[in-house]
Every structure is written in C-alpha cells, then in structure tokens.
Structure 1
C-alpha cells in the first residue's frame, strides 16, 4: 500500500505534469532558480526510477536512484530558501514513505534491516 501511494504521488504530482508539458512544471522549476531546466528529461528520469522501484527485480535500484533525485530536489529547495518543514524536507518524507513501502514488501530488505526489540 505504501509503495502504491508513493508511486501514485510521483506519477500524478511530479511525472505527469513534466511529461505532459504542463505550465506548472516549468513555472515551478523556474521559481526554484532553474529557468532552463530540462523538464522532459527530469520527468523521464522520475518515471524510469518509479517503474524500476515498482518492479520487484529492480526495486532496490529504483529506490536508490529515486533517492538521488529526491536529494537533488532537497538541495534545490535549500538553495531557493524554501520553507524547511513543508518544502525542503518533503523529499525526506517521500524517501521515508518509499523505503518503508519497499521494506514491507521485500523480505530480503527486512532481513538486511530487521527491526529489533530492546
């Protein structure tokens, strides 16, 4: 369920506006200091990472690559002086949601990072 929520958010709120050429995607990046941002490339990379994350055989690779994208988003928000809790840390919130979903659906990841009592 968490993986689905993450993927739906990425596809609907980030990937689709970029790949559909919606003005909000270009305007948002311009407002963040990227007036000539490669919007289609960013949207394509986000789509690729989301699909890799959803496919069980490549889910960890997709999560690692998506964290690189989210790290870039966090850095961009920091550089733009965006509000901390609502904008800058949003990439962390998404990353936690993404990894939690992967941890819940991957026995191998749970063995690698087990929850321990006490």
Structure 2
C-alpha cells in the first residue's frame, strides 16, 4: 500500500474581499492606462502638464512607456507583484516631482496605497507575505 499526497486545488477567491480588491485594482488600472497612453501618444495636455512640473517634453513618452509596461505587469496575475513594485517606484518619482514643484503630493501617495490595497485584497500571495494579524 502506497500513500500519496494530493495537493488541494487552489480556488480563486470569489468572496466580497477579493471582489473589492478587484474593483480597486480595476479603477487604479483605468487611471494608470489613461495617464500612460496620453503620455505615449504625446497628447498636448499631458505634455503641457509634465513640462509645467519640470520634465523635458522629449522625455514624456519614455515616462509614459515605463508606466504602461508597469501597468500591464500589474494587470497580469502572475506578474502583478512586480507591476505593483514598479508602479510604486513610478509614484515615488511623482511624489518627488510634486515636492520639488511645491504641489500637493497626497494624490500620488494615496494612489500608491490603493494599488497595494487592491492587490492585497485580491491576491493570496500578497496576504501571505504581509500578514496583518490581530
């Protein structure tokens, strides 16, 4: 007689917490995609806003490409953690620019928290890495 171990099949979370995480993540992704695409296509509003904050106009598309790649990685479940890390770096740069330009920085900081909150609520791996216990 031989004993075999059968690993339980991990079911994706479908409860309310995971749904809230997905909603938060979707809202963040929509905003990030709009911002990235406007930079990549060099929309005049995006160029003007970036130049007003001190970025060279010829670098705005590169910044948009970096954000677009980071956002795509965040969308893919297998690379979502890497995407969140890259988005955090992007938003850290945004906070630094806002401080230098003497603009409010709360939006970028809050947005970074929302990116991670959405991922935390929808991804079991992140909850395992960052266990909030009672």
TM-score by length of 1: 0.89
Counterpart in 2 of 1:23? 44
Which stretches of structure 1, 4 residues or longer, exceed 4 Å deviation after superposition?
none
Q: 1:44 aligns with which of 41, 45, 65?
A: 65
The structure that has the greater radius of gyration is 2
Shift, 1:37, TM fit: 4.7
CA RMSD of aligned residues (A): 1.2
Structure 1: gaps spanning 5 or more residues: none
User: Unaligned stretches of 5+ in structure 2?
Assistant: 1-22
Equivalent residue for 2:101, pick from 58, 76, 80: 80
Matched, 1:106 2:128: no
Larger helix proportion of the pair: 1
- In structure 2, the residue matched to 1:2 is 24
Structure 2 Cα separation of the partners of residues 106 and 66 of structure 1: 17
Q: Aligned equivalents of 1:96 and 1:57: distance in 2?
A: 20
Q: Deviations over 1:92-111 (max 9, x none)?
A: 11111100111011111111
